[in-house]
Chains A and B, each alone.
Chain A
């Protein structure tokens, strides 16, 4: 019953906007949460057609401290389906308002033991996500996009000391950027 209501709401939102986007077709953004782990993520998004946009980005972080150092390099990608193409708060139209997306990310982390400069090893994390977000656009330029996701995570040790591990979890996402 709840699922049916959700689908109905999504269909209403999807039908509320016209067929052609009236806003800008590009967006560049970064993710402020990354700064907390000494990281950065920069991503580019392009409106494709028929409510769809595609996004790709690169990230890095150097999070390990004390007796260890680490470098993580990431590739992020996402396909978004814009439900209404309208930010109801600002009345901006285009890649704005609520969206559903699927995302796939891959990251490689290498860790070093600092006292002896010993290589501890490297690992991959591959992640698939189902995401729901909402983009706010202000001043016809600035975008702010919070999102929540259901993530499936695969951890893989390159040296094979641990078997691959898979689990699901919830994620929070937040981007700040510009549309143009």
Chain B
């Protein structure tokens, strides 16, 4: 488990992603709230954080979270996502040898929060790590969903003079937050 996580971290960081890991959901949530505050998230255009519905949120009071940090929005739509600074979503599987995240992304809000805002925070259960692409493709099949997304690092281009530039059309920052124990809330 730790070896596979280390491989993932190494690969993901090599493509400019940030990788964090916490034993419990609560600690992961604390980290995210801290991060959002530091990033200047508040209830104003260009400063929203849009959070797509996901299993991570089970057990947390979303109203309370918004009260704690105004600007965090759980009713995601196109307009708000386009005006958000941070998008948060949970990904389904992580592929260690390429540092890739994989997701059933048929629900459009999953794609809105991970494409439009300049920062994407990706939540990952630590037990959802697989070694490589062939093993990942046994986990989500095209028979089950019309849209499977793979994300490896932030958006990038080298189209001008071959200079690597991060953040073209998609996020310029990808922050991956692993949590070990999916169950605990309090």
Query: Are A and B interaction partners?
Result: no
B residues neighboring A (CB under 8 Å): none
